[in-house]
C-alpha cells in the first residue's frame, strides 16, 4: 500500500460516490484542496446541480475523511519551481505535483493534462486503479 496525493476532482468523486479510503492507503492533499472542495460543492448547490442538503452532507463527510493536508514552505517553494519549469502562470496544479514529489508514491487524477505535465516529475494513477 502507499501514500497518494488526490486532486479536487478525485475528492469530489469520492464524496459523490461514497468511496472510502482503501485500507493501508494514506491520502494526502495540499491545504488548498479544502477551499477548492468547499467552492466546488457550494457552486454545485448554487447553480442547482446539487440539493443544499446533499452539498452540506458531502462537505461534512469531507471533514471526516482521513487526509493529511500539507502546505509548508518547502512544498510552496517546490510548487513555485515546478510551475516555473513548466511555464505555468499559476502554482495551482504545481502544488499537487510538488506534494507528490515530496511525500507520496503517486498523484491520483483523472485530468489527462495534469497527469501528462506531472509525469515529468512523479508517477500518476487513477482512482480506479487505487481502489
pTM above 0.75, yes or no: yes
| Separation CA 86–CA 84 (nearest Å) | 5
Residues in the chain: 131
Q: How far apart are the first and last CA of the chain?
A: 11
The three three-digit cell numbers of residue 98, written as one number: 510538488
Taking domain 3-130, whether its CATH number is 3.30.300.10 is answered by: no
The three three-digit cell numbers of residue 22, written as one number: 482503501
- What is the pLDDT averaged over residues 25-40? 96
Cα radius of gyration rounded to whole Å, the chain:
15
Instruction: Kindly indicate the confidence band of residue 130, based on its pLDDT and cuts at 50, 70 and 90.
Output: confident
Q: How confident is the model at residue 54, as a pLDDT?
A: 97
User: What is the percentage of the chain residues whose pLDDT exceeds 70?
Assistant: 100
Residue appearing with cell numbers 483523472: 110
Is the pLDDT reported for residue 91 higher than 80? yes
Residue appearing with cell numbers 471526516: 64
Amino acid at each position: 500500500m502507499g501514500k497518494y496525493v488526490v486532486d479536487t476532482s478525485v475528492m469530489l468523486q469520492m464524496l459523490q460516490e461514497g468511496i472510502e479510503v482503501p485500507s493501508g492507503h494514506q491520502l494526502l492533499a495540499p491545504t488548498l484542496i479544502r477551499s477548492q472542495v468547499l467552492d466546488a460543492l457550494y457552486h454545485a448547490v448554487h447553480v442547482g446541480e446539487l440539493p443544499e442538503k446533499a452539498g452540506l452532507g458531502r462537505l461534512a463527510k469531507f471533514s471526516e475523511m482521513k487526509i493529511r493536508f500539507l502546505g509548508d514552505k518547502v512544498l510552496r517553494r517546490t510548487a513555485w519551481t515546478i510551475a516555473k519549469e513548466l511555464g505555468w502562470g499559476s502554482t495551482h496544479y504545481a502544488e499537487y505535483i510538488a506534494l507528490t514529489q515530496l511525500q507520496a508514491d503517486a498523484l491520483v487524477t483523472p485530468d489527462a493534462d495534469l497527469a501528462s505535465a506531472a509525469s515529468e516529475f512523479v508517477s500518476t494513477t487513477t482512482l480506479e486503479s487505487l481502489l
